[in-house]
Amino acid sequence: MLKRTLKVRLYPTGEQKQALKELQIRCVKLWNRANYLIRQEYFKSGKILSYETVYNLVKNSSDYKALPTDTAQAVLKKLSESWNSFKELKKLEEENKLPKHIKKVSPPKYFKDRKKNQTLPMSVIPILAPRSYSLGDFSFSFAVPKDFKQTYGIKKRLEILATYKIPYSSYKLKRAEILNRNGKWYVHISVEIPKAGIDKTQKVNYASIDLGIRNLITLAVYESDKKLTRVYQFKAKELLKEWKYWNRRIAKYQSKLAKSGHKGYSLKLRKLYEKRNKRLKVAIQQMANKIVQILERYGVKEVFVGDLTGIREGKDYGKKLNKLLHNFWIRKEILRVLSYKLEEAGIGLTPIPEAYTSKVCFNCGLEVKRPKQHFIVCQKCGKLHSDTNGAINILKRGLKLKSLEWNKVREIHLVWKFKRTNRWIFRYKPLSGANSVLRTSSENIQKEQRQTPCEGKALTPANAGCYC
C-alpha cells in the first residue's frame, strides 16, 4: 500500500470559523497538559512516558473531556510522535550523526506566548479515524463537542462547504488534520492506495536524470534495442521569469512595510510568498507527470539520478546566484515529487554519484572544454549541451557502459507555459538525423564558434547548431 495526502479546501462561515478556532484552543490545552506531565518525568528520570501512560493520566481531566474522543486521542498521538522524534534525534546527537541543518535538539514545547502570557492556538485540529469525519459531494463534516449544540447550534457534526478532487479509483481514508494557512482553511487527509499491478517483464529500458537550474531536469532515455538515447530538457527560462516576477512583488511590498514602520506579522506578505511557492510547485508536479508519461511510453524500469548531496554547502556565488541556488532550485522538493510519482508507476529510482559527469565526453571519455556554462566542446567528437552530456554520463555510470554512440542521440526541449495552459509543452520537433542536435566534425565546430548563438529560436535548418 502507498500512502498519499488528499487536500480538501474548506469554506467556513463566520460562525463556523469561531467554532474551529475554539477547537484549536481546546486541542492546545490538552497538548499543554499532557506535555507538562511528559516533560516533568523526562527532566526527573530521563524517561519518556508512553502514549498509553499519558492517556491513562489525562483521560478523566476536563481538557480531555472537552473534545470528541477521536480528536483528543489524535492530539495525544501527535504529542507522542513528537517525543519519539526527539528521542531519535537525541540518539543521533550522541553518535555525532545529527544532520548539519539541526543545531540544537530540544523537547516538544508548549503552545504559549510567555511575553503576553497567552495560550496560542494549535496549528492543526487532528482527527484520529474516518469514523469521526466524512466527505460529501461538496462538504466535509466531523464530530464536535456536545456543548457546541448550545453555543453554536451544532448537534453532532459540523458540516462545512468544501471542494476537493480524488485522483485515485481505489483508496482508504486514514487520519485527518484541519489547519488554517494564511486565513484559508484546509483538511489534509492521509489515504492509502494499492500499488498498481504492473508487468515488469515488458519494461526493459533505463533512463537517467541530471538536475540543474537552466534546465530543471535533463532526462536521458536509453532504448536498448535501437541503441538510441533520447534526451528531454525541461527548460526553466519561463518558470524563472515568473519566479522573478513574484520576487519583485514581494520586494516592493516589503519596501512599503519598511517605509510605514510596520513590524511583525503581515498576512499579505505571507500570501505573496505562498503564491510564489505554489506556482513553482505546480510546475514541478506537472513536470513529474510528463516525465512519468515519457518513461511509460518507452518501457523504462529504472531511473538513475545524480546524487547532489552537499553541493550547496559552503558555496557563495553572490546575492543573485545564491537566491537561485537556495530558493528557486528546490532540489529536494523535485526529488520528493519524482520519487512518489515513480513509485506509483512501478519505476525504480537509484541515486548515482555525479562527480565529473560534466567534465568528460560521454562518447570518447576525454576531458572536455567548457567555453560557456551551458555547453561543452570535445576536440574529437564535437559540441554538445553540458546537461545532455551530464545526463548521458550518469546513464553510462548506472548501466556500467563504456560508451554510447554519438550519432544516436536525439535532443528534445520542453518549456513551461504558465499564463493559460499551466503545462510543459514541446518547444520544437527535432529534425531527423544526428546532425539536428549534434556536430561531429572539427570543421563544424570552428564554423559554429564564429556564428552568433541562437537566443531561444525554434530549431530550423539555418540554426541547427543551436544549443540555447
Write out pLDDT tens, residues 54-68: 999 999 999 999 999
* CA-based max dimension of the chain: 87
Q: 220: which residues sit within 8 A by CB, 6+ positions away?
A: 207, 208, 209, 210, 229, 230, 231, 232, 388, 391, 392, 394, 395
Phi, psi of 463 (to 5 degrees): -125, 40
Q: pLDDT at residue 446 above 50?
A: no
Topology adopted by domain 205-237+280-463 = Nucleotidyltransferase; domain 5 (3.30.420)
pLDDT digits (tens, 9 = 90+) for 374-432: 777 887 877 888 888 888 888 888 887 766 776 777 888 888 877 666 788 877 544 43
Among 313, 332, 311, 329, CA closest to 321 = 329
pLDDT of 117-141, one tens digit each? 888 888 899 999 999 999 988 999 9
What's the confidence (pLDDT) of residue 466? 41
Q: What residues contact residue 286 under an 8 Å CB cut-off, 6+ apart?
A: 416, 422, 423, 424
pLDDT score of 200: 60
> Domain map of the chain by residue range?
2-193, 205-237+280-463
